[in-house]
Structure 1
């Protein structure tokens, strides 16, 4: 019958032969951050897909999972009231989805925001056409940041405007 020492040696030999090595405890925090990001992105994509299904969007070829790696996604209703903001919004400007739901995206503008750019965005929205603009926005703490926005009207299967979607990135 093998001894406990022989058993320990066999286990040690087995673990040494593995190509996957154990990870030190200090790296668990990095793993947790990555897991949170993946989970948040997955939930965000599911929420957007639920909105699309409910309002019967004509599907676009957006790879939302990839977009969420670098950009914030905001969805408004046709009246420009925010109905969804991706969880990574807080990294960009300090706001959480609960802070912005039901409000206009103009809430990110302030006294130094260029009126001409705001008017150009408003005109594109009124004409129901896509736009791409860079605008000076304000964080929750009052600091300014440059934000590159790509906005698109979303139409339903009947061709009626139902939502707007914006992909935003701090420049």
Structure 2
């Protein structure tokens, strides 16, 4: 079973690398500056991915709340800074970061952590996950970025459904 999982993960990695290389080739045909900017981001993404891979799962579980609180702070900071009249980016040196994108990852980690606390999903866990999602979405909606806010709710529903939350909980949430 482990070999199948490794083969599957290697296959996904190869596909991701091919897609990235095709994208880089397309960018290099347009403008050189876009190409080198994407190379920098690719290197940063690989380093970040390796750090997450090397981080033991227990530590990731413990750090999920801290990571999300830091992202929420950045989402508040973004409201008071603007880059070219857009309140979604924080300039850091030659880079601009968009905390709402990191919030997707941190929201996945936090919601997963909330549901991992008990074996059987309880209403209180769903409510806690929903409140965290609503807070994150509200901060992004103020920017304004409706599409990303809606994405957070899709993340919430996908994870809530994936962990096997009862229909009695899911259906009313979807209807609202």
Q: TM-score, normalised by structure 2?
A: 0.30
Quick check: which one's strand share is greater? Answer: 1
Structure with higher RCO (Cα < 8 A, 6+ apart): 1
Could you state the TM-score of these two structures normalised by the residue count of structure 1? 0.30
Larger-gyration structure (1/2): 1
